[in-house]
């Protein structure tokens, strides 16, 4: 599979309209964009602290339906184990799981938080907020 896996922070920036360059790039790549089930969960949890959780839950649901959610599968689990063996547990588990999914699907990870993902062997990263 090829395409782009959106990190949670990229999704949030898009949903709140924080970055015109990100929105433009996402429009250009539409049809090749994906989110991890892990990111989908993080987005749904984030709604609970909103000033208008019903509105934001609908916004997230519409976004996820348009993008599509990838299940975390056995190949992603293998990629995760290999990554931890290669670089240890220096980063948060959620970021590592998302990175493993990008690796197992051969997707480029779109994030504006590159430091959380640098040093992961074989992981392609792009920041579309610049």
Residue 116 annotated as lining a ligand binding site: no
Helix (H, G, I), strand (E, B) or coil at 110: strand
Residue keyed to tokens 């990554």: 83
Q: Give me the half-sphere count of Cα atoms (radius 13 Å) on the Cβ side of residue 1.
A: 17
Residue 52 annotated as lining a ligand binding site: no
CB 101 within 8 A of CB 76: yes
Q: Two tokens at 71?
A: 């299940």
Q: Give me the half-sphere count of Cα atoms (radius 13 Å) on the Cβ side of residue 2.
A: 1
Binding positions are 7, 95
Binding positions for Mg(2+) are 7, 95
């Amino acid at each position: 599979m090829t395409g782009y896996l959106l990190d949670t922070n990229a999704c949030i920036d898009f949903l709140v309209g924080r970055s015109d360059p990100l929105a433009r790039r996402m429009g250009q790549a539409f049809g090749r964009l994906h989110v991890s089930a892990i990111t989908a969960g993080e987005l749904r949890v984030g709604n609970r602290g909103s000033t208008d959780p019903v509105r934001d839950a609908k916004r997230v649901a519409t976004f996820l339906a348009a993008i599509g959610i990838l299940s975390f599968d056995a190949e992603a689990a293998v990629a995760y184990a290999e990554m931890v063996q290669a670089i240890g547990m220096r980063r948060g588990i959620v970021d590592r799981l998302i990175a493993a999914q990008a690796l197992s699907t051969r997707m480029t990870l779109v994030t504006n938080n590159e430091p959380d993902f640098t040093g992961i062997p074989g992981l392609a990263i792009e920041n579309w907020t610049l």
